[in-house]
Amino acid sequence: MTATENVHRPAWKDEQISRIKQDIKTHDVVAVVSIQGIPARQFQDMRSELKDVANIKVVRNTLIYRALEQSGESTLKLFEKVEGQTALIFTNLNPFKLFKLLENSKTPAPAKAGENAPRDIIVEKGPTSFRPGPIVGDLQNAGIPAAIEKGKIVIRETKTVVKTGEPISARLADVLQRLEIYPMEVGLYLRAAYDGNIIYTSKDLKIDEATYFDQFVSAVSNALNLSINAEYPTTQTITTLLQKGSIEGITLALEAEIFEPEVLEILLLRAKNEAMWLVNKLPNDALDDDLIALKGTATTVPQSDEVERAEEEKQTEGEEETSEANDAESGMAGLGALFE
């Protein structure tokens, strides 16, 4: 900036530049948004709705350029995003929350001739509110299959009248509005946000929250399973590992017939059952009267709680993994707060 420029620039311009620089310094995030096509009244409504969390300023682009130049090298990254009808937003919200807030504040709007469709525009089949008249021809001329049935105008089949990115004709824009189909959106479109020397574009900030949340939950669940399978103790897995070790120890003691207090009763009853199986196989003349009296009976071997848990765990291993994933999901519930 030269001395001559300072002399000839009105004081009110210097004041606005100073205010922008001060806002950049006192806020965590500076965003450049497009205000193209927003009616004045709707813009004022948006500004009022956001006043508690964001300060929206509309000034000349040339003054924004000056303020960015004087605010430091890092903010110059926003320079190329300032074009056309532009506003600045100053806020302490993180860029993801700001982007979501702006997206949720958008409202449906009728299409204008020459605008490109933001998505496929589909007219559903079915009756309309129109009485028979010239509008039948208007609909047909706009490519919408309309007819008169039982005294009403109906759309005979569902049809995509414009594909994403294609221009909307004046004739189609008119009939879409009469059908109360509003394919456009009016709102503040975030071009870029500056936060801590990082520039985020709308593409960076537009994420599928559900997909990311599921990926985090899956990662936590997989980490838990890996820790358990590798027998790596952590705060989250130590209880499961101790239970697993206890069950495996009891199972080993039973299979190896190690006479420990925890399994002694089960081993003795198992031996008794095996003896009774042999008694039932032998003829009566090979047995004494007491064994003959016991013939045909059997004893069920009671199982300890640990063994029962071992069998249940084996049968419901898949369910346990699902439960762990659910626990992980509960633990990650706070993640969504980043985007709210």
**CATH code for the domain of 22:** 3.30.70.1730
Q: Is residue 81 part of a domain?
A: yes
Where does the pLDDT of residue 32 fall: very low under 50, low under 70, confident under 90, or very high at 90 and above?
very high
Whether the pLDDT of residue 89 is over 90: the answer is yes
Kindly state whether residue 311 falls inside one of the protein's structural domains: yes
Per the structure, the complete domain to which residue 147 belongs is given by 121-184
CB atoms inside a 10 Å sphere around CB 324 = 19
Query: Most confidently modeled of 73-77, 191-195, 236-240, 293-297?
Result: 191-195
Q: Answer whether residue 115 is part of any domain.
A: no
- 250: buried, middle or exposed (CB in 10 Å: 19+, 13-18, 0-12)? buried
Q: Which of 7-11, 105-109, 175-179 has the highest mean pLDDT?
A: 175-179
Place of tokens 């497009």: 34
176 and 195 part of one domain: no
* CA torsion, ordered 64, 29, 81, 203, to nearest 10 deg: -170
- Per-residue pLDDT band for 329 (boundaries 50, 70, 90) equals very low
Hunting for tokens 């949720």 — which residue is that? 104
Same domain, 200 and 177: no
According to the model, what pLDDT value does residue 286 have? Answer: 77
Q: Is residue 114 part of a domain?
A: no
Spatial contact of 169 and 141, defined as CB atoms under 8 Å apart: no
Percent above pLDDT 70 for the chain: 84
| 165 & 194 share domain | no
Nearest to 173 by CA among 186, 184, 159, 157: 184
Question: How many structural domains comprise the chain?
Answer: 3
Alpha helix positions (H), 195-304: 202-205, 209-229, 238-256, 261-281, 289-294
pLDDT (0 to 100) of residue 179: 92
Distance separating alpha carbons of residues 92 and 76, to the nearest angstrom: 20
Are residue 41 and residue 161 in the same domain, yes or no? no
Please give the residue that has the higher pLDDT: either 284 or 117.
117
Convert the pLDDT of each residue in 247-295 to its tens digit.
888 888 888 888 778 788 888 888 888 888 888 888 887 778 777 777 7
Q: Do 326 and 237 have their domain in common?
A: yes
Residues 179 and 224 in one domain: no
Share of the chain above pLDDT 90, in %: 35
Task: Specify which residues 91 forms β-bridges with.
Answer: 29, 54
- The answer on 132 and 28 residing in a single domain is no
Please answer whether residues 301 and 270 qualify as being in contact, where contact means their C-beta atoms are separated by less than 8 angstroms.
yes
Is residue 224 within 8 Å of residue 324, measured between CB atoms? yes
CATH of the domain at 144: 3.90.105.20
- Give the pLDDT of residue 22: 93
Question: Cα dihedral angle (88, 93, 99, 104), rounded to 10 degrees?
Answer: -110
Distance (Å, whole) CA 134 – CA 126: 18
Is the domain of 22 the same as that of 61?
A: yes
Integer Cα distance of 241 and 243 in angstroms: 5
User: Average pLDDT, whole number, for the chain?
Assistant: 82
Residue 21 lies in a domain: yes
Query: In the predicted model, what is the mean pLDDT of residues 292-305?
Result: 59
Q: Is residue 111 part of a domain?
A: no
In-domain check, residue 113: no
What pLDDT sits at residue 311?
A: 52
Average pLDDT over residues 199-219: 89
Does the reported pTM lie above 0.75?
no
Residue 127 shares a structural domain with residue 151? yes
Q: In this structure, are residues 46 and 187 in contact, taking their beta carbons and an 8 Å threshold?
A: yes
Q: Same structural domain for residues 49 and 194?
A: yes
165 shares its domain with 65: no
For 72-95, b/e burial (b = at least 16 CB within 10 A) is: eeebeebeebbeeebbbbbbebbb
Task: Report d(CA 39, CA 47) in Å as an integer.
Answer: 12
Same domain, 80 and 146: no
Answer yes or no: is 324 within a domain.
yes
pLDDT of residue 339: 42
